[in-house]
């Protein structure tokens, strides 16, 4: 998840916060990291199912893997997984929670992936593209290390007023301990823009679906009242991509 950006601009996303989360990655409810856990609970099964349709024994690269919410689950499903992140502190947590002890966790810069061309079946960039200055380059690097026919999974925020209001201000208002510049509006990416990035890198987008919180649950309104994100907080896939969206592209043969 993290990537070092040096001195912060006022509109620059603060990636340094992920270095200090520690065990809070997996346990904190008074922190927006709990929303990442809730997102992974709905996204991960979909990612697993889509991979298994094409690659029963996939070799997967998870870019910006953070504390391993996705990478560790993929490993439990029998896949060969490399988790890649700029935060060694986050990777240490990911290793502790890897029950398979088979995930290869590696620290590095996603702008310069240290892997040969066409060496992975799958590349994932979940909750990551909105944290980098040049997402098109990350997409290009992802495509470079993908085999022909390989799959590229992504999740990020749309760029519009509603996404700003809910994805940035709403989290600041209603979730405890939200740090300054957790996200920055200028890093958000419209689906049409990400589709163009993929096409230019030889990736054909197959699916883009919206992801949004379920506002009819008790957990949602508890969050609004108290700032606490309980373990039963839910997200759901839907047709509306106005806030955030999850997608899948395939590298051309």
Instruction: Provide the 3-class DSSP secondary structure of residue 175.
Output: coil
Is 9 contained in some domain?
A: no
6 occurs within a structural domain: no
For residue 8, being part of any structural domain is answered with: no
pLDDT (mean) for 58-62 = 98
Q: Report pLDDT for 4.
A: 40
pLDDT of residue 8: 47
pLDDT exceeds cutoff 50 at 106: yes
pLDDT at 3 > cutoff 70:
no
Helical segments of the chain, H only: 24-27, 33-54, 69-76, 88-96, 135-145, 161-163, 171-174, 191-200, 218-226
What mean pLDDT do residues 69-96 have? 98
Average pLDDT over residues 152-156: 98
pLDDT of 231 strictly over 50: yes
Sheet holding 80-85, edge to edge: 104-107, 80-85, 59-63, 120-126, 146-157, 244-251, 203-213, 235-238
Instruction: Report residue 158: phi and psi, to 5°.
Output: -75, 165
In this prediction, residue 11 carries a pLDDT of 80
User: Percentage of the chain surpassing pLDDT 70?
Assistant: 96
Tell me the β-bridge partners of 59.
80
Question: What CATH number should be reported for the domain holding residue 80?
Answer: 3.40.50.150
In a domain, 211, yes or no: yes
User: 51 and 73 in contact (C-beta within 8 Å)?
Assistant: no
What is the chain's mean pLDDT, rounded? 95
The pLDDT value given to residue 97:
98
Within a domain: 2: no
* pLDDT, position 214: 97
Residue 5 lies in a domain: no
Asked if residue 10 is part of any domain, the answer here is no
Model pTM score: 0.94
**Has residue 115 been placed in a domain?**
yes
> Which among 135, 168, 117 is positioned nearest to 64, based on CA atoms?
135
pLDDT tens digits, one per residue of 165-198: 999 999 999 999 999 999 999 999 999 999 999 9
Tokens representing 30 are 């008074």
Domain count, the chain: 1
Q: Is a pLDDT exceeding 90 seen at residue 6?
A: no
């Amino acid at each position: 998840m993290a990537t070092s950006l040096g001195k912060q601009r006022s509109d620059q996303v603060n990636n340094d916060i992920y270095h200090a989360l520690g065990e809070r990655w997996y346990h904190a409810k008074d922190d927006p990291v709990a929303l990442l856990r809730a997102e992974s609970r709905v996204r991960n099964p979909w990612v697993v199912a889509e991979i298994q349709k094409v690659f029963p024994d996939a070799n997967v690269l998870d870019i910006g893997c953070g504390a391993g919410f996705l990478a560790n689950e993929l490993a439990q499903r029998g896949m060969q997984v490399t988790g890649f992140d700029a935060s060694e502190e986050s990777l240490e947590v990911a290793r502790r929670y890897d029950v398979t002890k088979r995930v290869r966790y590696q620290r590095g810069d996603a702008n310069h992936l240290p892997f040969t061309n066409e060496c992975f079946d799958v590349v994932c960039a979940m909750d990551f593209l909105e944290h980098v200055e040049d997402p098109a380059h990350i997409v290009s690097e992802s495509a470079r290390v993908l085999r022909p026919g390989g799959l590229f999974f992504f999740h990020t925020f749309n760029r519009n007023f509603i996404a700003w209001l809910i994805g940035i201000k709403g989290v600041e208002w209603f979730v405890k301990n939200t740090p300054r510049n957790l996200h920055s509006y200028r890093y958000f990416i419209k689906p049409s823009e990400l589709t163009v990035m993929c096409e230019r890198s030889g990736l054909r987008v197959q699916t883009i679906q919206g992801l949004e919180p379920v506002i009819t649950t008790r957990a949602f309104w508890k969050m609004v009242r108290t700032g606490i994100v309980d373990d039963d907080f839910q997200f759901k896939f839907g047709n509306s991509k106005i806030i955030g969206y999850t997608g899948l592209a395939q590298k051309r043969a």
